[in-house]
């Protein structure tokens, strides 16, 4: 747990979170990520409703009256002096994505296994860069889903206004 | 004064479409219901039933985060009740210092169950809780609503 995962020789690709889309047919959310280097292809990950709403709140910089779960994790870091230098989407197996969250404290880096939704929800709150490996980027699903996505968004306009 | 309590069960509240975590003290003389959301109830339920999901859920991730830096949850305390909102504190030790962090009770309880940390409730909260409201809620309850209560 205390050893950082070995880096592949290929550089990581930095991503930003575009938005969270509602998939009302399955009560899940789709988090849409795009590359910071200007390439237009996107990356989509299906996540749970609660995690999706947490990411949406972070994007909107919404302040809730009580700290929500990912706010609490951020507060742990603030109290203990632990920072999150980066999160990386490291693997995909049978359509399940895996993420690694890097923690740093007093010059020591540790990594923890996470679902991408928790990694992204925490990264947005800590202003931490989000990366994906070249391998996972190549194996991503939904490469031609932009048209489908815009259809879904139009359909869900009512549902998105919360 | 604080009283140690245990999670006795989780119930679905069909009237509010929410879940209720039932806390009880050891001699069963005091009870505290806490209304929580669906995902928080799920997090508490997985810990109560000792289920390890294939991927770490949010509170497993929270626990892994604390484990990774050697921070330990010593206890959690439900500290206040204000206009039907409950407040809790998480007590941590880290590098010989103690830290107290503000939390919702649902997160604190989900984390305490995963950390084998005791759950305490301020006596003022037990006194302050609107028993009237809960009694009324209980009266409206049908027998089938009790299906989800662990004994």
Report whether B103 contacts A68 (CB < 8 A).
no
Interface check A83 vs B, CB under 8 A = no
For residue B26, is it within any domain? yes
For residue B72, is it within any domain? yes
For residue B149, is it within any domain? no
Cβ <8 Å between A96 and B102: no
For residue A7, is it within any domain? no
What pLDDT is recorded for position B88? 97
Rounded mean pLDDT, B10-25:
91
What are residue A28's DSSP bridge partners? A23, A48
Question: pLDDT per residue over A14-69, tens digit each?
Answer: 999 999 999 878 889 999 999 999 898 889 999 999 999 999 999 999 999 999 99
Q: Going edge to edge, which strands form the sheet with B72-82?
A: B31-36, B18-25, B2-13, B119-122, B72-82, B85-94, B97-103
For residue A3, is it within any domain? no
Q: Tally the domains of chain A.
A: 1
For residue A1, pLDDT over 50 is answered with no
Domain span at residue A133 reads 13-160
For residue A22, is it within any domain? yes
Report the distance separating Cα A74 and Cα A93, nearest Å.
28
Half-sphere exposure of A6 (CA within 13 A, CB side): 2
- Residue B19: pLDDT band with limits 50, 70, 90: very high
For residue A119, is it within any domain? yes
For residue B11, is it within any domain? yes
For residue A122, is it within any domain? yes
For residue B148, is it within any domain? no
Q: CATH number of the domain that B56 lies in?
A: 3.10.690.10
Report whether B20 contacts B33 (CB < 8 A).
yes
Report whether B74 contacts B117 (CB < 8 A).
yes
Domain span at residue B71 reads 2-143
- A49 to chain B: which residues are within 8 Å by CB? 39
Q: CATH number of the domain that A40 lies in?
A: 3.10.690.10
- Residue B15: pLDDT band with limits 50, 70, 90: confident
Cβ <8 Å between B64 and A80: no
- Residue B22: pLDDT band with limits 50, 70, 90: very high
State the ipTM, two decimals: 0.87
- Residue A158: pLDDT band with limits 50, 70, 90: very low
pTM of the model: 0.86
Which of A51, A69, A118 shows the shortest C-beta gap to B107? A69
Q: Among positive and negative, which fits the CA dihedral B25, B46, A136, A154?
A: negative
For residue B151, is it within any domain? no
Which of A2, A50, A73 shows the shortest C-beta gap to B62? A73
């Amino acid at each position: 747990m205390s050893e950082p995962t070995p880096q592949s020789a290929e550089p990581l690709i930095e991503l930003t979170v575009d938005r969270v889309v509602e998939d009302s047919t399955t009560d899940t959310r789709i988090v849409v990520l795009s590359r910071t280097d200007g390439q237009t292809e996107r990356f989509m990950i299906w996540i749970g409703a609660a995690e999706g709403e947490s990411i949406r709140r972070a994007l909107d910089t919404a302040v809730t009256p009580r700290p929500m779960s990912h706010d609490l994790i951020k507060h742990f870091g603030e109290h203990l002096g632990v920072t999150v230098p980066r999160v990386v989407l490291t693997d995909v197996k049978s359509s399940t994505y895996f993420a690694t969250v890097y923690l740093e404290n007093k010059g020591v880096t540790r990594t923890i296994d996470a679902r991408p939704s928790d990694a992204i929800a925490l990264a947005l709150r800590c202003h931490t860069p989000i990366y994906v490996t070249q391998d996972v980027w190549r194996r991503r699903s939904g490469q031609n889903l932009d048209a489908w996505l815009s259809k879904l968004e139009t359909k869900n306009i009512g549902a998105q206004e919360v | 004064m604080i009283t140690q309590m245990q999670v006795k069960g989780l119930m679905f509240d069909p009237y509010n479409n929410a879940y209720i975590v039932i806390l009880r003290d050891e001699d069963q003389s005091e009870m505290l219901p806490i209304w929580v959301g669906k995902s928080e109830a799920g997090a508490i339920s997985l810990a109560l039933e000792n289920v390890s999901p294939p991927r770490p859920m949010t509170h497993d991730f929270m626990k892994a985060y604390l484990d990774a830096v050697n921070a330990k949850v010593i206890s959690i305390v439900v500290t206040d009740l204000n206009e039907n909102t409950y407040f809790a504190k998480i007590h941590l030790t880290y590098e010989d210092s103690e830290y107290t962090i503000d939390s919702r009770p649902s997160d604190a309880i989900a984390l305490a169950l995963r950390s084998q940390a005791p759950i305490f409730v301020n006596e003022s909260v037990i006194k302050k809780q609107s028993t009237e409201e809960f009694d009324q809620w209980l009266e409206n309850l049908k027998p089938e609503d009790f299906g989800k209560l662990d004994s």
